[in-house]
Chains A and B, each alone.
Chain A
């Protein structure tokens, strides 16, 4: 098909329609609406809208995500990845809260409420003082602790070149010993291991699906 051909389908989007849906915020703050919020206002708004799952101090309740803590744990056996310890950009916090939180009643927060919540999350991570005010004007100045903690996919250099070519077909190993068994853990559904076994299971899965 001719990629440049126009079919005359659809219609022009009205400015109000684009404004209603185009709410993404880039790392440099592009897309932020005017507004501001301070830590103490944020504490109140957070307590009303967020604390039931995320805890009064953003520390998390039960299996709900922890939004604070984990500083310096990324190279540990069980890293705790939170806004403070892991997230590279503050824009993501603002955008995600504004668009998708609270869980179950998303898109109910005003821009000022979101600024306040984000300020409170920063405070809960010991990244700002209690008199901090976050606004569209000072937003871009804020740098997250783990902003340089990410590298672009490097599998082509670190893996693909190594794991290619004609593989071994015969006499590839001296011996084969069992080193791990799933039935020892016994956390598979239908095998009687569903009750309270989550603690013994590896920590990773809970993270995969928050």
Chain B
């Protein structure tokens, strides 16, 4: 699937066609006057005269064709194949906070499997009174909770450790989605199996039904606190690629632990130290030692527009700078935006109250008159933590930790409105 026409991406075409308007922009706060009446107004258009589609045309709809560049994309050279791989949410083109499920990123280790509700089984075993098996139907009968949470891959922005590498917010920050989940608290399910109540030193090993299994060890305390077995996302059944019919939700923690197609939870006396918490999802520091169990995703933000895929095409005057922020430590309290590469900062407007471990949208409504900008955003969360620069991160971790890159991102907006991923001093 490609959006290229004549070898040119949609955003590039949009940029070139829109670029002509730059310089012809109107002076702010004066009313522009058209030279000629607009035929789209003065002539009766077909859609104002004849029929549109009937209500039986689209039982389950997709976005209109004009939005066909708002899609997941992958980066071929990142992985050896597309089965154990990643794709990216088009965050540059979205607004608000809820990620449309159909373009929410995917990360699989042995592909997106097809598991019918009738074939689904969830086992609970280990240090429980009675090892149990639940059907999907059983899950639907437990009391449910609803929560909005972000799921961010530990490797999001990982390609940027060594330098500015991928030119677009979708590619630098798109291993993330934010959905409303309906699910059963893990504590409810463990109680059903007769867990004895001991937490200290106990772990929950969780695995999926797919070949990769994706087993991870979670401290029991966290599992009991706010983890869910989710059966719905954004109001409907989980998409196949997001774990249909059930997945684990681990609020605020790295996406790898959000085990999809969840088939088993085992209470253990210790961590299993599985492949996904030893070989992978461990963060190598400059001295060659590596951090393990770096579960929480720290406060992070990114300007989604303007950005390399969202150039300014409307000329001078009012400009909406917007982006997203999130933290695994609770709630975002503030997002600051800089237009000059971090010399000066303005506090942006949060569109809504930030939810717990959920994405929040920020806006800075401003004026742009063609000056070069170095756009940055800096998130703060309720613990007082301030999103660091890449230099600060590198100072502590070096260049090889792969995961957990929550650095401040810089977009260089040029006088023609085009934007580029850069690093600045």
Contacts and interface: CB of A to CB of B under 8 A. Distances in A.
Interface in A178-207: 178-183, 185, 187-192, 194, 197-198, 201-207
B8 to A, nearest CB: 8
Interface string A141-174: 0000000011111110011101111011111110
Interface stretch (A32-40, A80-88, A115-123): A80-88
B275 A153 contact: no
A163 B385 contact: yes
Interface residues of A, number: 93
B107 to A, nearest CB: 8
A4 interface: yes
10 contacts: A5-B191, A7-B141, A9-B142, A13-B132, A18-B125, A75-B287, A155-B296, A187-B165, A190-B9, A191-B9
Contacts of A110: none
A169 B340 CA distance: 12
Contact of B131 (A18, A24, A62): A18
A177 interface: yes
Interface in A1-41: 1, 3-7, 9-13, 17-18, 21-22, 24-27
Contacts of A17: 123, 133
B80 A210 contact: yes
B131 A13 contact: yes
Interface of B: 2-4, 7, 9, 11-12, 73-80, 83-86, 107, 109-110, 123-126, 130-135, 138, 141-143, 155, 158-159, 161-168, 171, 185, 187-188, 191-194, 205, 207, 211-213, 215, 224, 263-264, 266, 268, 270, 272-275, 278-280, 282, 284, 286-296, 298, 308, 336, 340-345, 374, 378, 380, 383-388, 392, 396, 399-400, 402-403, 412, 420-425
Contacts of B400: 79, 204
Nearest to A65: B80
B291 A89 contact: no
Contacts of A100: 109-110, 211-213, 275
Contacts of A106: 110, 211-212
Contact of A6 (B162, B192, B420): B192
Chain B binding surface SS class = loop
A96 B185 CA distance: 28
Contact of A181 (B11, B164, B340): B164
Contacts, number: 304
Contacts of B86: 208-209
A136 interface: no
Contacts of B163: 180, 185, 202
A178 B162 CA distance: 15
Contacts of B279: 81, 83, 86-87, 92, 96
Interface in A64-81: 64-65, 74-75, 77, 79, 81
B270 A26 contact: yes
A175 interface: yes
B396 A158 contact: yes
B338 to A, nearest CB: 8
Given A149-B290, A169-B336, A190 B12 contact: yes
Given A74-B284, A182-B422, A10 B342 contact: no
